Amino acid sequence: MSQENLTVVLHAQGDLRLENRPVPEPGPDEVLLKMHSVGICGSDVHYWQHGRIGDFVLKKPMVLGHEASGRVVKVGSAVEHLNVGDRVAIEPGVPRKVDEYVKNGRYNLSPTIFFCATPPDDGNLSQYYKHSANFCYKLPDNVTYEEGALIEPLSVGIHACRRGGVTLGSTVLICGAGPIGLVSLLVAKAMGASKVVITDLFPERLTMAKELGADFQLTVKKGDGAQQLAKSVEDLLGAQPHITIECTGVESCVQTAIYATRSGGVIVLVGHGSEMVTVPLINAAVREVDIRGVFRYSNTWPMAIAMLASGKVNVKPLVTHRFPLKQAIAAFETTRQGLGIKVMLKCDQNDQDP
């Protein structure tokens, strides 16, 4: 086993370091992974810049990274379904207790869940990382490590579309064309949505959305009225969308979502905004437009792998930048500046392929 284990550690707000850590020893139910590709998420950058997200506050140094894949190099004694050499994607959330949420299949809501790179739990942006074997999923040969790493954001899109009830012939409005809006777009299309409108402030992001299959793009200017935007969406689609997936967290977008969505439809809140928002809730209520939140995901890796293996969803264009792990700070800086869509860190010196 290599002695070295280069790791990206956030010591405090603004203090991001690349340092060497001991290679961990997997417990009986764990596997040790030689990491291959880890995507940088907006939340990683947020912890770096602000030291907190909502109630999650960095109080001691934390390893970043939670969009990851790697290769099994050591297998815990009780593990049966994985072997050394298996290429796996990592589901970063692992429930700690068998509580009511775990028992009823909504383990993402378990209040004591372990989650990579959410304080105080360490992430996996390193050369070696151990993880619960039950939350490592074997990748078929025709799915790359980077696709494996992208299953994490893709899972947010899957969970959002599933909660929204996207199905054959659905029309969908997606607010925001960042990574999360874009994976929601990919998933909505794969679930049978007939038409998707996507909005953003930045034309480049909408260009990417168009390439990924959006039917209509709407460039929003700060200050545009919510009802006005809702009307534009209706005009583009010829009718109000069945489902709106809000991926910005911005108050005015929640307002637009409410005005835009068809009676009897669904709004999915994926974006995280300020604690209190002022919204026309009664407009949604009297038209029975349901409002459903999304907190990460559960039960998405197997279906995501099935979709990637069958070629029905193509996430590859999302990766716009790659950096070797050694250049992690530069990589984070790229994401901080909002350049491109997804920045990948390549953790294996001997294999920097996708």
Cis amide linkage into residue 120, ω under 30° from 0: yes
Residue 306 near which of ligand NAD, Zn ion, a second copy, none (CB within 5-8 Å, type-dependent): a second copy
We find the least distance from the C-beta atom of residue 42 to Zn ion, in angstroms, to be 7
Provide the 10 A C-beta neighbour count for residue 326. 14
Nearest distance, CB of residue 114 and a second copy, angstroms: 14
Please tell me whether residue 141 binds a second copy under the rule CB under 8 A. Answer: no
Decide the pairing of beta strands 67-75 and 128-132. unpaired
272 contributes a contact to ligand NAD by CB under 6 A? yes
Q: 70-93 b/e with 16+ CB inside 10 Å = b?
A: bbbbbbbeebeebeeebbbbbbbb
Binding letters toward a second copy, positions 203-222, x by CB under 8 A? ------------x-------
Window of 82-90, 118-126, 154-162, 217-225 that interacts with a second copy by CB under 8 A: 154-162
Report CA 169 to chain centroid distance, whole Å: 25
Paired residues of 129 in beta bridges: 33
Does the protein bind a second copy through residue 312 (CB under 8 A)? yes
Instruction: Give yes or no for residue 291 binding a second copy (CB under 8 A).
Output: yes
For residues 23 and 79, which CB has a smaller minimum distance to a second copy in the complex?
79
- 3-state SS class at 294: coil
| Distance (Å, whole) CA 8 – CA 20 | 9
d(CA 329, CA 8): 9
Q: Which stretch binds a second copy (CB under 8 A): 32-40, 175-183, 272-280, 326-334?
A: 272-280
The residue among 24 and 51 lying less far from ligand NAD, judged by its C-beta, is 51
Sequence-distant (6+) residues with CB within 8 A of 98 are none
Q: What is the DSSP letter of 167?
A: -
Does 42 bind ligand NAD (CB under 6 A)? Our answer is: yes
Going by their DSSP bridges, the two strands 171-175 and 243-246 should be labelled as parallel
- Residue 125 token pair: 């942006």
Per CB under 8 A, 52 contacts a second copy: no
- Pick 115 or 336: Cβ nearer a second copy: 115
Task: Please select the residue that binds Zn ion; options are 41, 158, 160, 344, rule is CB under 5 A.
Answer: 41
Going by C-alpha positions, the residue among 52, 16, 68, 60 that lies closest to residue 345 is 68
Element at 236 (helix H, strand E): helix 226-237
Q: Which stretch binds Zn ion (CB under 5 A): 10-18, 41-49, 127-135, 268-276?
A: 41-49
291, 269 contact by CB (below 8 A): yes
Answer yes or no whether residue 293 interacts with a second copy by CB under 8 A: yes
Return residues touching ligand NAD (CB under 6 A): 42, 156, 175-181, 199-202, 205, 220, 247-250, 252-253, 270-272, 294-296
Interface positions with a second copy (CB under 8 A) = 54, 97-98, 100-101, 103-109, 111, 134, 158, 161-163, 167-171, 187, 190-192, 194-195, 215, 249, 254, 263-264, 269, 272-295, 298-299, 302-304, 306-307, 309-310, 312
